[in-house]
Structure 1
Amino acid sequence: MFPSRGVWRRPAFRWVDAVVLVGVAVLLFGLLRLAPSLNAPFLPNQAPSQVSTDPAELPYYAVRSLLRMFIALVLSVVFTFVYSTAAARLPRASKALIPLLDILQSVPVLGFLTVTVTAFISLFPGSSLGLECASIFAIFTAMAWNMTFAFYQSLVSQPRDLDEAARIMRLTKWQRFWRLDVPSGMIPLVWNGMMSFGGAWFFLAASESITVLKHTYALPGIGSYVAAAMQQGSLSKVAIAIVVMVVMVVAVNILFWRPMVAWAERFRAEESASADKPRSVVLDLLRRSVVPAVVARPARPVGRLLDRITRPFGLAEHPLSKPLVRQRTGDVFFAGLVTAAVAFGAWRAVTYLHVRGDLGQFGHAFLLGGATFGRVVVLLVFATLIWVPVGVWIGMNPKVSRIAQPVVQVLASFPANLLFPFATAFFVATGMSLDVGGILLMALGAQWYILFNVIAGASAIPSDLREAMQLMGVGGWLRWKRFILPAIFPAYVTGGITAAGGAWNASIVAEIVSYGKHHLEAYGLGAYIANASANSDFPKVLIGVVVMSVYVVGVNRLFWRRLYAIAEARYSL
């Protein structure tokens, strides 16, 4: 009589829900226990310059470092969404935002620290929260640019039929962002987020052991632990830190990045479903549990409210053509405003350096930059020849991808600078100059940008196109020339431009290395900036950052931007 009885009954509490609840409780408990330590009393004159190298402290240090990394990751995602959308959707603003992104990418982590540490300490007097903010900001600067480039590339290469569909359905700009822009860019965003997270480990020592005004402040963390162990010349303690780091990297990949990669597959745009998709035990548990739905339920009214609030700002559609006079007037005004801001900043910098008598350093800095530029070019050439075929092989073979992806994630997430003491010992034993060895050290941190972007580009190729190539019997070099290389070209350009920026940044820690009594230094701009930062010589830091920015922006405008234009015009799927 009542066939629907029990249909609306709440699902029974299952063991899956218990597991998820325990995981959430452990996470919240850890955050509550760590929160007071972030706001501990702090006196600059009495702050320790080194952390304890007792291995028993490593688990606590690892958790502190991991918390900073995830806070920086959240900030990077927010920055990526805002900055990339503005650059892709505002044509006049993009003429300033994209070159500015080139400059921000080229500014090394030490350059940001030199300027921001004092400001953050002054913002939170008597509290270690200022140092924590400075450290998180430094980690943020190592993450954000790669993710921003990737999401921007996905927006500008968005298929036109999807854009027309958004206009026909009269979506608001807010609706378009969450229903079209974010889903279409999710796969490259996840892969580049994973790469950015791994790249940030590379600069963790510099972000947790901060030198400013000839005083070093050490925050509890695995990066500062490694810096102290290297200064003591203790390879055994560095090895213990490496073991802890490997365990932590593997755990992060199993609990976070692997589920994200598997979840992002739902946003793949293709007509035929892939036969073999990435799987994650953690994601399967979350999908079978009702806890995520219960937690997300309060956010749904907020989303509907934002939909209503943003509707007055207009729909997603925009005029295909604008009056020529109006367009030129806006372009001239915006260009004049940007030019005035750049000219004012350049005048203040030149005046400051002239007063300090350091203007003559620019010639020497440009020569050093030429040496570092040569190392970057060699690195990019070899990384392209090696990792493009490997990335295509992994991305286009689901069975290989299941095995290789976790290995690649661990290798890319592992902070290669932990290997620097062993590399330094090898260079000393073999007599190899750091002028050559520096290329290898830079590659340890920068090569993964190309590999990850190529994997993301290859795995995003629709299955129906792959099946069409197989049915037509296209193989060999013709398959690479007509199908594979054009399909991955936009992703490779993103990987190349971020790998180049990562290599310039890595030069700061790769061109000057120390282990115990041994000190090796290469002829290059990275060593110049590192020495200036260690000596708190702000004029030389400014000169080094300006010269590095000129090199990076110049190469990006003359080479990488032209490749971006080709990718947008000819090779977007």
Structure 2
Amino acid sequence: MGVPRSPANRLAPSRPLSPRLGWFSWVDAVVAAGLLVLLYAVIRLGKDVTLSFVPTQVSGIDTDPAHLPYYAGRSLLRMFAALGVSLVFALVWAYAAAHSRRLERVLIPALDILQSVPVLAFLTVAVTGFVALFPGSLLGLELASVFAIFTSQAWNMAFAFYHSLITTPRELDELSRGMGFSRWMRFWKVELPSGAIGLVWNAMMSFGGGWFFLVASELISVSNREYTLPGVGSYAGAAIVAGHLDHVGWAILTMAILVIGVNFLFWRPLTAWAERFKVEQSEAAQVQRSLVLDFLRRANWPRLLGRALAPLRETAGRAGRVFGVDDRPFLVDVRRRRAGDVLFTVVTLALIGWGLVSLVGYLAGQPAGLSVFVEPLLLGLATLARVVVLVAVATLIWVPIGVKIGFSPRLTRIAQPVVQILASFPANFLFPLATWLFLRTGLSLNIGGILLMALGAQWYILFNAIAGAMTIPTDLREAMDDLGVRGRRRWRRLIIPGVFPSYVTGAITASGGAWNASIVAEVVTFGGTTLTATGLGAYIAHATAAGDHPRLLAGVAVMSMYVVLINRLVWRRLYRLAEHRYSL
């Protein structure tokens, strides 16, 4: 009886795909040349990051389209730097939350709050801190911009990996324990591969979110002055201010080329490579393909480099075994664990209580007193209604579409760049047009604001629906076909249970993104006319514009409270349902 080949074995060719000349071939030459060009581009673009920065001088952007290639390179450098930091953050944060009951009680609610805080609020704090760390250097502003992009990328990646950790297939978990894996080995051999598909697709969505906030992260206000960093976002912002619609068109075209190029050269190969980590016992008739990945697999030097670095991997593995604790069964002192739980709870509540007392004391000393919370609490109900409608409608529309795309490798190749462009397009470019349509049609912003919020939030559900459909094992789908299970029964027995864990991740991040987007979607301007919706987002926007810190603090605190309560009462229970009932 034959043993099915594992996905890893399936993807490793048993013979060379092209003739090789000894240890080096023309494929290796092309790949090496490409890496050298990439390294040169990074060095060439990165050297301008450390230029001197004089606060009394205001920098500007030349809107000549000839500068767009350079600006595009600078923006890409920031985007990938933020993506790298976001990946490290997501792995560390999610791992700590999934493996510690005590930390989970703090880290997951904190993640709920962080995703609801507006990116511009992070940017205001980051600019002051980074400029102080690097006085007289543009590096401070560059790091502040990268940090702003990071805050638009990190949260849903952390949620996705956290959920994959708590829903790791039981058989793999038991196998790793039975083989005596250390936590270091278990992470690299079991947990990270198990969550690879969802992590890759959420990273791709995060990258799109970074494009969305590129304008704000490259147009920075420091000490009541506007400073611009070279990039596509700042170019588009300058063109909009100058009223040069043709230059805006060039910026949009450049962004579309960047999205398609990054998708072809980076995301497409990465999603095809992640297919090797799908948990299944039979190979799919159609698999994800990438011309770039197929080409790279024909090169010799990655394997030679891997052999050269083998001693380093062994050293890292020994270090992991030294600092990691084996997962083999051991006796637990119940009394000591309970005492630790009590101590951790007391310290956490003490810190939270101290923060709340300080906030309440500050607001009580203001003219409005604690009554400042009344208005945002009521306005939050209106924004909550919009968020609920948005998530419900986006679920009904995008989950079936995402399942269709995820089940078809051919459709994925066609739809992936299109979805990337739609998710990456800065929706605030469309806000003036939307305002004009609302004025012409008489549609109230109280309803139209849902559409504006959806422009930035709905894609989380679509991307996670695609990722969830792609993780459903092929043998289960083939079994359903053989049994003749179609229509509603197929959805009830296979698709909904298979997609549900990923959907919960998409819904919780879409909900947080909708709260964040409400700040710009509930107040829009066109041609000197400003439309305002009734809601908490408009309340925070007006408080920010007026510099009213008590109202701003009250609004952000109330928004965080709503997000945490919804996540605890709704999404956290759905997380547990997915963990116990719908995991493989």
TM-score by length of 2: 0.92
The answer to whether structure 1 residue 172 and structure 2 residue 182 are counterparts is yes
Are the aligned partners of 2:184 and 2:324 in contact in 1 as well (CA < 8 Å)?
Answer: no
Label 1:537 to 1:158 Cα distance change in 2 as closer, same or farther (>3 A).
Answer: same
Total equivalences in the alignment: 564
Q: Does 1:155 find its partner at 2:165?
A: yes
2:516 aligns with 505
Counterpart code for 2:540: I
- Cα deviation, residue 510, structure 1: 2.2
- Cα deviation, residue 491, structure 1: 0.8
- Give the alignment partner of residue 554 of structure 1, picking from 557, 565, 577: 565
| Distance change (3 Å), C-alpha of 1:474 and 1:322 | same
Could you report, residue by residue, the CA deviation over 1:385-430 in whole angstroms, capped at 9, with x for unpaired residues?
A: 1011111111123333332233223322333333334333333443
Determine the structure 1 residue equivalent to 2:301.
Answer: 291
- What's the offset of the Cα at 1:478? 1.3
Q: Distance in 2 between matches of 1:378 and 1:74?
A: 34
1:237-252 alignment runs, 5 A limit: 237-252=247-262
Does the 8 Å CA contact 2:58/2:225 hold for their aligned counterparts?
no
Matched with 1:25 is: 36
CA separation of 1:128 and 1:355: change in aligned 2, threshold 3 A? farther
What amino acid maps onto 2:56 in structure 1? N
Give the SS at the match of 1:520. strand
Tell me, in whole angstroms, the C-alpha distance in 2 between the residues paired with 1:467 and 1:288: 32
Over 3 Å counting, the alpha-carbon distance change for 1:88 and 1:283 in structure 2 is: same
Post-superposition CA distance 1:239-288 (Å, at most 9, x none): 22111111111001001000000010111111001111111111111111
Match in the other structure for 2:537? 526
- CA–CA distance in structure 2, aligned partners of residues 364 and 535 of structure 1: 17
Q: CA deviation at 1:294?
A: 4.5
Q: Kindly tell me: are residues 238 and 314 of structure 1, through their superposed partners in 2, closer, same or farther at Cα, counting changes over 3 Å?
A: closer
Map 1:116-515; keep pairs closer than 5 Å. 116-211=126-221, 213-297=223-307, 299-317=309-327, 319=329, 322-357=332-367, 359=369, 360-515=371-526
Letter in 2 for 1:143: Q
Letter in 1 for 2:535: G
Out of 97, 113, 117, the position equivalent to 1:107 is 117
Decide which moves more: 521-530 or 164-173.
521-530
Is 1:563 the equivalent of 2:547? Answer: no
- Deviation digits for residues 28-82 of structure 1, max 9, x if unmatched? 111111122111211223233x533333332222221111110000001101111
| Aligned partners of 1:209 and 1:217 also within 8 Å | yes
Aligned-residue offset at 1:332: 0.9
Residues 225/195 of structure 1: CA separation in 2 closer, same or farther (3 Å cut): same
* Aligned counterparts of 2:547 and 2:417: Cα–Cα separation in 1: 41
Shift of 1:321: 7.2
Q: Whole-Å Cα distance in 1 between the matches of residues 382 and 581 of structure 2?
A: 35
Distance in 1 between residues matched to 2:529 and 2:511, nearest whole Å = 29
CA contact (8 A) 2:178 2:328 kept: no
Of the three residues 45, 54, 62, the one matched with 1:52 is 62
Secondary structure in structure 2 of the residue aligned to 1:289: coil
Structure 1 spans left out of the alignment, 5+ residues: 1-8
Q: What are the Cα deviations for residues 216-244 of structure 1, in whole angstroms up to 9, with x where unaligned?
A: 33222222222223333443332221111
Residue by residue, what CA displacement relative to the aligned partner does 1:297-332 show, whole Å, maximum 9, x if unpaired?
554322211211222334441548734322321211
CA distance in 1, matches of 2:393, 2:455: 12
Tell me which moved more, 438-447 or 555-564.
438-447
Structure 2 stretches lacking a partner, 5+ long: 1-19
Letter in 2 for 1:350: V
8 Å Cα contact 1:171/1:315 also seen in 2? no
Q: Shift of residue 535 of structure 1?
A: 4.8
Instruction: Answer whether contact 1:172 1:316 (CA < 8 A) is retained.
Output: yes
**Change over 3 Å in CA distance of 1:37–1:228 after alignment to 2:** same
Q: In structure 2, do the counterparts of structure 1 residues 512 and 212 end up closer, same or farther at CA, with 3 Å as the change threshold?
A: farther
Relative to structure 1, is the Cα distance of residues 363 and 341 closer, same or farther in structure 2, using a 3 angstrom cutoff? same
Helix, strand or coil at the partner of 2:56: helix
Q: Secondary structure at the match of 1:257?
A: helix
For 1:3, the equivalent position in structure 2 comes to none
2:559 partner amino acid: M
- Provide the C-alpha distance between the structure 1 equivalents of 2:330 and 2:557, rounded to a whole number of angstroms: 39
CA–CA distance in 2 between the matches of 1:299 and 1:544? 52
Counterpart residue type for residue 292 of structure 1 = P
Check the 8 A contact 2:90/2:157 in 1, yes or no: yes
Q: Measured at CA, do residues 119 and 63 of structure 1 come closer, stay the same or move farther in structure 2, by a change above 3 Å?
A: same
Q: Distance in 1 between matches of 2:505 and 2:466?
A: 12
**Which deviates further from its counterpart, 249-258 or 424-433?**
424-433
Once structures 1 and 2 are overlaid, which stretch shifts more, 471-480 or 305-314? 305-314
Relative to structure 1, the CA distance from residue 349 to residue 46 in structure 2 (aligned partners, 3 Å threshold; closer, same or farther) is farther
Contact 1:388–1:451 under 8 Å retained in 2: yes
Letter in 2 for 1:560: W
- How many angstroms does 1:438 deviate by? 1.9
Does the Cα contact within 8 Å between 1:72 and 1:140 map onto a contact in 2? yes
Distance in 1 of aligned mates of 2:216 and 2:537: 14
Q: 1:291 to 1:535 in 2, by over 3 A?
A: farther
What CA distance in whole angstroms lies between the structure 1 residues aligned with 2:84 and 2:501? 25
CA drift of 1:357 comes to 3.9
Partner of 1:259, secondary structure, is helix
Matched residue type, 1:19: V
Contact 1:230 1:515 (C-alpha < 8 Å) held by counterparts: no
Q: Does 1:74 align with 2:84?
A: yes
CA distance in structure 1 between the partners assigned to 2:115 and 2:330 by the alignment: 32
- Looking at structure 2, the residues matched to 349 and 358 of structure 1 have their Cα atoms a distance apart, in angstroms, of 14
Per-residue deviation, 1:292: 3.0
Question: Which residue identity lines up with residue 533 of structure 2 in the other structure?
Answer: A
* Alpha-carbon distance in structure 2 between the residues aligned to 1:329 and 1:383: 45
Distance in 1, Cα, partners of 2:330 & 2:390: 42
Q: Which moved more, 1:501-510 or 1:255-264?
A: 501-510
Report the more deviating stretch, 259-268 or 306-315. 306-315
Where 1:443 maps in the other structure, the secondary structure is helix
SS at match of 2:152: helix
SS in 2 for 1:51: coil
Question: 1:89 is matched by which residue type in structure 2?
Answer: H
Question: What is the DSSP-based 3-state SS (H/G/I as helix, E as strand, rest coil) of the residue aligned with 2:221?
Answer: strand
Structure-2 residue corresponding to 1:4: none
CA displacement at 1:358 relative to structure 2: 5.5
- Aligned mates of 2:395, 2:154 — CA distance in 1: 23
* Contact 1:53/1:229, CA 8 A, preserved across alignment: yes
Q: Does the C-alpha gap of structure 1 residues 14 and 54 become closer, same or farther in structure 2, counting only changes over 3 Å?
A: same
Partners of 2:23 and 2:300 within 8 A in 1: no
Instruction: Work out whether residues 78 and 146 of structure 2, in 8 Å CA contact, stay in contact via their aligned partners in 1.
Output: yes
Alpha-carbon distance in 2 for matches of 1:318, 1:425: 64
For residue 140 of structure 1, what is the amino acid of its counterpart?
F
1:435, 1:351 → 2: CA distance?
Answer: 34
After superposition, the Cα gap between the structure-2 partners of 1:385 and 1:254, relative to the gap in structure 1 and judged at 3 Å, is same
